Structure 1
């Protein structure tokens, strides 16, 4: 034998590495590499052994499925070996598999080849043995010939029948399937573990494996496991002619099979099923990593037989890897539209699922700490569908010795305002509010919204144009816009520009409550804004209020008070408010609810008014003007109503007012009344 020593060393190194990974994967439930990397190592070893059969040894990983079972659980000898499946990583490999089937069966071209097609669950393979219809034994696959006894745990899985349905089942029936954890159950389990401060599972497959191999079945019973049956072992009965028909028979006995199970014809049928399931992959309630195709005719399966590793009549067409290894080159902080300061990992570019990935979200600093991510770390990243890739876990054993901890910045990386993380909150935020460029578009959108300053015609697309052109940096800049410039924008014209300017002009007169709400202070909604307006009566009083003064207002708690003080403490926000006032935004004086004596002396004191229909100003603005003169504004007409202010399309309230003899004012009459009353004051 004249074999190159380097080749022998490579084969032995591959065997040693694969054995180690088998042990990590099957016994410790702590894989050190991704499935795609393992598949590449295994394929390389298979190729070298096929090219040099004189180097084949009985203990090579290619001659058996996995690792030895865990010694802590009982050992079960499989009556029929549980073989693994050959993998097709590409469409070309799937085509080669089909051509081998055609050649081996020597079928005429006109005779179609039928395959069963079903999803390849990402879980843990098991064998269940039923005797006289009763579950008596369950075992993991182990090394393919011997597995671990997990009967006590499998009995806790809710969709595993402890006794088969019907009465015509075989005396002995062994079924093979996959124990998996649905995605929603996995998320709930990790949430519970995080609450208890325990180690989280990296993915549903690890969670299923760890749950099934518990020594205490009470722990397994609390885990959301499920079973899907895809095959069988020993059976003391005739099982018919086809894979699909027998699986349907198993389903009739109460054994769960894949709802996506189908029969497809030929290579084109396999390709179509693979593409269709791949398109639905992210919508499925469980993780799958490929599709399994099996010859449907059982006689053909017998004729083709199996290798020591896999059956020749089945193959797993794998989806592109959704996980990959790469290095975190830096961690930066981004500021979102609402001010959230989010850490983002800048990665050494790597291909995941056919897409080059260079960034991954880290969500917040708690997530950074939980996963212990640092610059320079080697990490596993995952990309599912079109969502932003995330870091699944860190390979701490590859960490550089000088890898620094990631710290939250104290100042916004965009505008320099203070970054604030409230106690008990996961997300930190820039306090720049109205000033921060990262928040401009959202701030302007909120400022112009219907329940804020109600600037009709100022939609998101137009806001984006105005901000991108740098015409609007803060809300006050809206009032400096000119018709000539606006008319030249996309989807605008002179008429649209004139309408927008008219809406801006109307918005200059508002209410203090609307103005406060329009500022976009976190946690300050319409109700809180109304409380501030009623109790403090001026924007200057809101700006100077302390946390203690704000908490003294009924309905305002410490968190909201802190938010208001933090917002008003930022010089940029105070400047933006001053610029709005200088631009002519104003409101009627507010009568403080704590001053009933002065309110009684006002000209409309004791008068009740109702507002209905479409008017020249928002109802809240008109109501505030009336309330400033002492009036009570209600929502329904009655005998106690003194005036009904009726705009266009007044409806039933106008009819009721006329029937009751209530005085009715239109917009012109109201303005005349208000002007006269102001003159009298």
Structure 2
């Protein structure tokens, strides 16, 4: 029977790998989404029932779930060189002359799009993804294998006549659509928006929870094969082979060029066409096609002589400054924005440009109604990069940075060593008040559904709410007059508010918006202070004794509870039935059956949540730890258990349980 089960699991994995290849690489779906999901669910159930057949490259692990607290530094077996840059055709002509002078024979070039993302090096052994490492400094990078496994464009298992062991390098990037989706979600939760897709992709790769990485919707393109032995004579042939093995490569938007004139035509075309791509590129990469010629040309101290990056010039236009306005963010940070005479730039009409802070305004020596140069590089909001002083008149005066908040009139403060000005009136400055309430209803806090940012702004404008406690006084007749509000929508909001009274204390503590108290800190505070009153009365010393609570967070907590308006809000929340203490008997020890034993839970749990599981361990006098090591006694595995399970099996002394076996253990 075990052999039959293993064969069934391996057969399903193979079939799903093939379907993934058809969908993501060939763009030719071979089954319906329903059929794919049905087979995936079947595989998940088999793997959960038989953890002994776990495989880190199973298609079920695409969804992530592994937590990586520290990304180990790994030495690159083959250095990741940077590319020399060129900015005009003269540079390319000089480069070609140097090549021909060295090898004295005809040269072909491969021209590929230069994706604007984060470089990655991936090791494949026996056709399976073995390790993924960031570029780092070129000599060593961070190992982020768990996170890279979640990217659908990157195959977990190869097909065809692939070599036994090789590295493939490429770029991890975000499409414009997914970037906008991420920012829309952040806006709804009252979080600061990300500035550009490139930095967001890079930051996403270093998130600790691979399931969260999966949600970002990263994409990948692979473009460079690295090994001692090469399966072809040219780079162009290897691209074709890599596609057959299962990689998404740049072959479809690349060109084999016989002459430099063909290279120039390719560059000229994409300099304009790039604006229609669903992702960002910042240039074209050119490589000598012959691998033999590449070896002859070799490397300089920092880059290959056989490759060159042609960088597109950031588009720049001149227009006139109309005025400077100042935006107040949810945290009180002030951002100056230049309002411009509309001008066409990179395919879109630009009316505003970021000025970032006072230091930038001073550096530009910006005057009222200046003619300015605006550039749109990797930023979503264009920026002013210079001033045409020749058009400036003697009547134009320098821009003076505001001293008072444009929303509430409070005098601004500038924290030492920071470039940003802040409005300190966090309880009465309108954008900060609205932001605080949006944060309170957000998914990770009180999770009040159907109460979005626009509705909260309307309620605030109508003077129906001023702080989170006011949500609990709302009535249907107050909601119905709002724009786009129907009877059912109003009732759903009221139901969501009522339901929020059942939300756990730790989420309420996170939701009330104490500065520097995030989700994790809120959980640790609740473990040490069972009620809001205990936390309110805690001393600086007591707060600093809590794990991961430093002086900065402790002072912020003390300041929050020293404000009478915050205390009044807390008392009102208490009177409306919001949970401001741990559930009854949460610290009660039920037995000593787990005394002296350590536990870790991994994978997707179906019989209980991770929080409930850890609570059960504590109630039976066991201890939860955060990583697989020789100090771990029991690893409890749910669906899609990945690297932790493999590591525990390698150590050999750790007892592996499924969820039911864990419940049996505690009776």
* TM-score (normalizing by structure 1): 0.42
* TM-score (normalizing by structure 2): 0.42
